[in-house]
Amino acid sequence: MAITGEIFRQNLTELLEESPSGSPELHVLAVDDSLVDRHVIERLLKVSSCKVTVVESGRRALQYLGLDGETGSLGLDSTKVSLIMTDYSMPGMTGYELLKKIKQESSVFREIPVVIMSSENVLTRIDRCLEEGAEEFLLKPVKLSDVRRLKDFIMKGKVKEVEKKSLKRMRSVDCGSPLSATYSPISLSCDPSPSLLSPLSSKNARL
């Protein structure tokens, strides 16, 4: 149990940066062509103890993420972005088009949650964004409760990621350790005995 706890703490330290208040800090990329709306969302995120990067267009967001095709345009902290919040109606590139770029053309950022914001409650628009992979569609004005709910959702996902990394690391430790009288269900996965095989696996073995 001591080894398990130590592995979990190591993974947690690697995955989450600690803010001055001691709470895990999340990095949010906010995209909006409206200066007023950018100030509003930036304020809400900072009140919620999030690190915020704001840009004014989809093109600038792609540049920051290094997805514009230009070498050396990757932002220093872009690979640590935990959430992308983008307005839907923007000139040049809409939030929907930005969403498609991120989800379809990037293996690095594909799993990052993308939230679409809009002042227009258009059902077909909402459905299209959700079908394309948007995590949520928020109606403006965005409220503090919306931001805090999103932060809680992201944090739960990060904790699950830590747990997965811990289990993976524990399996590698168990598989490389000498056999002992003390074992866990995880260690059994290193070399399963015939009794642990599923009926299907056993049937295939007989064939």
Residue whose C-alpha is closest to residue 40's, from 52, 58, 22, 26: 52
pLDDT digits (tens, 9 = 90+) for 50-67: 999 999 999 999 999 988
**What structural domains does the chain harbor?**
27-161 (3.40.50.2300)
Contact yes or no for 59/68 (Cβ under 8 A): yes
Q: Is the pLDDT of residue 199 over 50?
A: no
Mean pLDDT, rounded, for 99-110 = 90
Residue type, 43: R
According to the model, what pLDDT value does residue 77 have?
Answer: 57
pLDDT digits (tens, 9 = 90+) for 118-139: 999 999 999 999 999 999 999 9
User: pLDDT exceeding 90 applies to what percent of the chain?
Assistant: 49
Which 8-state DSSP code applies to residue 127?
H
Report strand pairing: 24-31 vs 17-18. antiparallel
Contacts with 124 (C-beta within 8 Å, 6 or more apart), sequence order = none
Q: Is the pLDDT of residue 182 over 80?
A: no
Gap between the Cα atoms of 54 and 33, Å rounded: 10
Partners of 49 in beta bridges = none
Using pLDDT thresholds of 50, 70 and 90, give the confidence band for residue 202. very low
According to the model, what pLDDT value does residue 179 have?
Answer: 41
